[in-house]
Chain A
Amino acid sequence: MMTGALLSTTLLTKRFGGLEAICELDFSVKESSIVSIIGPNGAGKTTCFNCITGFYRPDEGEILFLDRSLIGLTPHEIAERGVSRTYQNIRLFGNLTALENILAGHHCRMRSTIGDALIHSTRHIREERESLEEANQVLVFVGLQGCGDTLACNLPYGEQRRLEIARAVACKPRLLLLDEPSAGMNPNETRNMITLIRRLRDELGITILIIEHDMHLIMTISEYVTVLDFGRKIAEGTPRQVQAHARVIEAYLGKARPIA
């Protein structure tokens, strides 16, 4: 195993009935890196995210984040430890405004209680002011200035993607899991997304773990790629190494067979 890993899994296994969605998966993510998981549909990528974020409890294996186990923690406890995520199909708080979405994401970094809110304690007032300030900064960071008071469900698709990232960033994560961040985007939007992901790492110091199908995006920004097929790791390495790997080509394109 790599040393200095922010997140690492050992022998991670998750079964659904007889189906092994993930099987004895070992991988790790170095602090301040941009790492990808790729693989054909049904390879277990999203299941892996669900295990890390605590929505699924793995059947076997260990997940360590900052050298502490995440197994058995609830998703909100994991969020508090510093892991946040976005979804393949965008999931926002549709009837709240963009800024309210970001403020809700900031929830676990706030402390005021229902009592503080009722009496408007100094803690409540200070925290609300600071959070709003930060939320506005996050809004500008992802390039949504001017859309802060728009209901999330009324934003165009690409901006919903950015808002989802903004909401996740508002949790102040150490590790951000992005599930197909460029799904359904045109090449121009994908380029902007690549820039945004890079800025998340370079300017905010967030480690990024991406699931993606868009090979251009993967090959451009990942520093390390893990390839899954049928729940097993079949290859890992730099994008260039993976690209040339025989089993990866086989998983995506099938085995070369002599023509009969």
Chain B
Amino acid sequence: MQPIQKLVTQISSKRWLMVALGVLGIVLILGLPMLPIPQKNLWVRIIGYAGLYILLGLGLLIHVGMTGMLDLGFAAYYGIGAYTAAFLLSDHFGLHLPFWLVLPIAGLVAALVSMLVCIPVLRLRGDYLAIVTLGFAEICRLLFLNLKPITNGSQGIMGIDKPLLGDIVFKTGTHFYYLIFLLLVLFIFLTNRLVKSRTGRAWMAIREDEDVAEISGIDTSRYKLLAFAAGAFLGGLSGAIFASWQGSIFPDNFNLMASINILCLIILGGLGNVYGVVIGALALIALPDMLRGLSDFRMLIFGILLIVMMILKPEGFLPRIPPKLESAHPADVQEGQ
């Protein structure tokens, strides 16, 4: 047990090794759809699906990891994004807007709804907020299920348009695979920028101590709203991609298990580290699918892995690496990273 732990810390403390692993990972991921491997489509689907969960994980990371708001209902924003996209991209309402317009709309609708939920519960902290978000997600799922005239109930919505880029129709998994990859690069880049900004520090300060954040001049209500909206935006975005990729959505896609899975993957990856989400999603979403060959044993192996992980490295695979900001001579400070 001890050597494994040592190895993990050693690897995560070596910057060049991390970079090398990252580059290798990116090359592998980019090349995967072109490799001559058996069951290629399945692999593309598994990794692409994990990518979607990375995007969701990034959103939840802003809620839970950065701002410290325990959100147990993240699937709600995923669902709202998916249904928004389904409404605007199918025969259901006879609307066939361009996908590239619907994508940000889905994100914005989810962000708006999250802010409306957030306003009455701004004063709640910790467990209380968790209960509210849990309840909200269940309300959303039940609305998807029972508002039959609008959502078509348990039959779901079918025939959702695929994205269109010039002459290319995104029919295959490979197209979505690259779309998700591009969005991931963009949003990991942007999230990293946020972490190192005034906004990111305000979020982390709220996570650490809300009262002290307030007395330091941080408008905690405003920054919590902002965090809720930013996270939900990513959730809504993922929902729209999911809807278009699957071509059909059902209320059950956005149940409690989905929320819990997203939460698990960011905890496993390490709260407060953007790259942790990547590892968490690969381990939690892709691994169970890869182990499908082991049939009944796969969930068992997976469960054991989770427990071992929590014992050996409870802070996650990649905890936050604090920035080095101190200058040797305060007179000539270099620009911080």
Contact = CB atoms under 8 A, between A and B. Distances in A.
B326 A113 contact: no
B208 A107 contact: no
Interface in A165-199: 167-168, 170-171
Contacts of B197: 112, 114, 116-117, 124, 128
Interface string B293-337: 000000000000000000000000000101111110010010110
B336 A129 contact: yes
Nearest to A80: B217
Contacts of B333: 129, 132-133, 136
Given A96-B208, A113-B199, A149 B326 contact: yes
Interface in A70-129: 74-76, 79-80, 84-85, 87, 91-97, 99-100, 103-105, 107-110, 112-114, 116-118, 120, 124-125, 127-129
B202 interface: yes
Given A96-B322, A140-B330, A148-B326, A117 B204 contact: no
Given A76-B215, A85-B215, A149 B198 contact: no
A91 B212 contact: yes
B160 interface: no
Contacts of A80: 217
A162 to B, nearest CB: 15
A253 to B, nearest CB: 35
Contacts of A10: none
B91 interface: no
B167 interface: no
B216 A114 contact: no
Contact of B324 (A76, A91, A135, A149): A149
Contacts of B220: 76
Contacts of B27: none
Interface in B122-166: none
B73 to A, nearest CB: 23
Contacts of B209: 91-94
Contacts of A117: 193-194, 196-200
A94 B336 CA distance: 21
A137 interface: yes
A135 B220 CA distance: 22
Interface in B179-203: 190, 193-194, 196-202
A93 B199 contact: no
22 contacts: A75-B211, A76-B216, A84-B217, A87-B212, A94-B208, A95-B204, A96-B208, A100-B201, A104-B201, A104-B218, A114-B197, A114-B230, A117-B196, A128-B196, A135-B325, A136-B325, A136-B330, A139-B326, A139-B330, A140-B330, A149-B324, A168-B216
Interface of B: 190, 193-194, 196-202, 204-205, 208-209, 211-220, 226, 230, 272, 320, 322-327, 330, 333, 335-336
